[in-house]
Structure 1
Amino acid sequence: MPTAKVALSTASVYPESTAAAFEIAGRLGYDGVEVMVWTDPVSQDVEALRRLSDTHGVPVLAVHAPCLLITQRVWSTDPWTKLQRARSAAERLGASTVVVHPPFRWQRAYAREFVRGVWRMADETDVRFAVENMFPWRYRDREMLAYAPGWDPTEEDYRHFTIDLSHTATSRTDTLAMVDRMGDRLGHVHIADGSGSGKDEHLVPGRGAQPCAELLQQLGEWRFDGHVVVEVNTRRAMSAAEREADLAEALDYTRRHLRTAPDVCGAPGRTRLDGDER
């Protein structure tokens, strides 16, 4: 059996609340949650998150630092303070991973020190800082490079990476080639799908063109011991029941393909991380 746990991103229930995400994750049988820290006050409150975790029996497996445009004032306007608070929250909640985006290009001082700064912070904790792949912004026939050092984290030297399959679709990147470049430093997965339309779709896995099944089967073969997080967009759901059905489908798809990897028990060991060979 694979060692990867399947978590629900609290962003997947939007516009419902962080509290609703814990309830849904518990009811559907997810192994835990990844907390997206954003404008919902509960997502910013470690004690409130701890109470939700205890009430629903759902551990917090990862914390997504507030890196979005809408979270520029969440946990300070200083990006390093945001990462420090995300690390503290992860440590206090028992989460193993902090997910972080590359800086925006206009965050010049932050961007200049980002690679070195993330290494320094990673050296101070057992929590993994897993830098996520992003995508170029497009408008009509124009493309803008919004991130620095860049949207593709494999072009830099980070200790751990997060692969997001909606973002690989948006950037029109070969997902499995990016995973190969990440190698043993792949520490975290956002499972979702995309059609390659140029929009960040976060479809339920299996509804787009991304190699979701192939990646999950590889993770099973490697006995991947990071977390696989369902991060999908359910904003168009017409009811709570429809949203929950989408999240149940995503969980079933993810577990089914993790567990149908060929010869999982005898696979020649990519037990991930730290120095093993593929």
Structure 2
Amino acid sequence: MAAVPPVRVSLSTSSLYPGSTASAFETAARLGYDGVEIMVGVDEISTDIEAVARLSQFHEIPVVSVHAPTLLLTQRVWGTEPWGKLHRSADMARAVGCETVVVHPPFRWQREYAAAFVEGVAELEQQHGIVYAVENMYPWRTGRRAFQAYAPDWDPVGQDYAHVTVDLSHSGTAKQDPVQMVRDLGPRLAHVHMADSAGSAKDEHLIPGRGTQPCAEFLAEIARQGFTGEVVIEVNTRKAPDTQTREHDLTEALEFCRTHLGQSGP
């Protein structure tokens, strides 16, 4: 029986925000990450398919996934038509040689898009021959009130998606157990955004191991199940006082993941 290759641990370009996409490639390659996830967003380079392909070639590091511009702050990136964004994300994925597009569920006010979303994602996968991994989100909370901002649901586990992304910062905000999500999803778990959370109403994206999420147990569980998708570090380093501290944090996150995936010692 052929040996299962180790799970790759890659870096989201959003982990360097407000730094550029170019700086994320350079940092990921120098720190020893296995790849890069492109957060298509306000940085103009992240929206330029040819520029992203050139950065990947120059730094000799692959793009493992494309995060479609479906965040609240990226509603006008690549136009305002949501299905057009998902088609263009597939164009980027093909151009850079990756097989996964990460997408958030629609906002509730995107009624027409939301009504056809589950079936539409399945059609996109068939049309483009790539994975569209729908990401878990969370209720928006203010004090004791919770607002359901996503449709058909912020939780993709109970929806009929073939492929799902689990984000541990989001599960922390939603007060879900990510290890149980792994077990419930089974082979539908296609992609991981690794971060931590202290369980506040904010989407914190802490360095793994610095919050209350069972990050180590989660990684051990996906390794035990023979997970073959991508693990992507998606953390918030904006409060790092300098470049040295930021890179220390990103190195710590990488080593944490590899250790608990059973790939290396601490």
Is 2:103 the partner of 1:105? no
Amino acid at match of 2:258: R
Equivalent residue, structure 1, for 2:251: 248
Q: Give the RMSD, CA atoms, in angstroms.
A: 1.2
Query: TM-score of the superposition, structure 2-length normalised?
Result: 0.96
Contact 1:2 1:258 (C-alpha < 8 Å) held by counterparts: no
Equivalent residue, structure 1, for 2:94: 91
The partner residue of 2:67 within 64, 67, 81 is 64
Q: Secondary structure at the match of 2:261?
A: helix
Contact 1:4 1:223 (C-alpha < 8 Å) held by counterparts: no
Is 2:161 the partner of 1:158? yes
Amino acid at match of 2:156: P
Equivalent residue, structure 2, for 1:23: 26
Amino acid at match of 1:181: D
Amino acid at match of 1:256: T
Equivalent residue, structure 2, for 1:204: 207
Count of residue pairs brought into register by the alignment: 261
Which residues of structure 2 form unaligned runs of 5+?
A: none
Q: Kindly indicate whether structure 1 or structure 2 has the higher relative contact order, using CA contacts under 8 Å at least 6 residues apart.
A: 1
Give the Cα separation in 2 of the matches to 1:238 and 1:16. 13
Query: TM-score of the superposition, structure 1-length normalised?
Result: 0.92
Is 2:182 the partner of 1:179? yes
Which residues of structure 1 form unaligned runs of 5+?
A: 262-278
**The 10-residue stretch of structure 1 (174-183 or 95-104) with the greater mean CA deviation from structure 2:** 174-183
Give the Cα separation in 2 of the matches to 1:26 and 1:48. 17
Contact 2:8 2:230 (C-alpha < 8 Å) held by counterparts: yes
Contact 2:6 2:263 (C-alpha < 8 Å) held by counterparts: no
Contact 1:9 1:35 (C-alpha < 8 Å) held by counterparts: yes
Equivalent residue, structure 1, for 2:82: 79
Give the Cα separation in 2 of the matches to 1:5 and 1:96. 14
- C-alpha deviation, 1:260, in angstroms: 6.0
Give the Cα separation in 1 of the matches to 2:150 and 2:77. 19
Give the Cα separation in 2 of the matches to 1:97 and 1:112. 23
Give the Cα separation in 2 of the matches to 1:183 and 1:136. 24
Amino acid at match of 2:50: E
Equivalent residue, structure 2, for 1:234: 237
Q: Secondary structure at the match of 2:88?
A: helix
Q: Secondary structure at the match of 1:259?
A: coil
Give the Cα separation in 2 of the matches to 1:51 and 1:2. 27
Is 2:112 the partner of 1:121? no
Deviations 1:137-193 (A, max 9, x none): 011221100000010011210010000000000000111122222111100000100
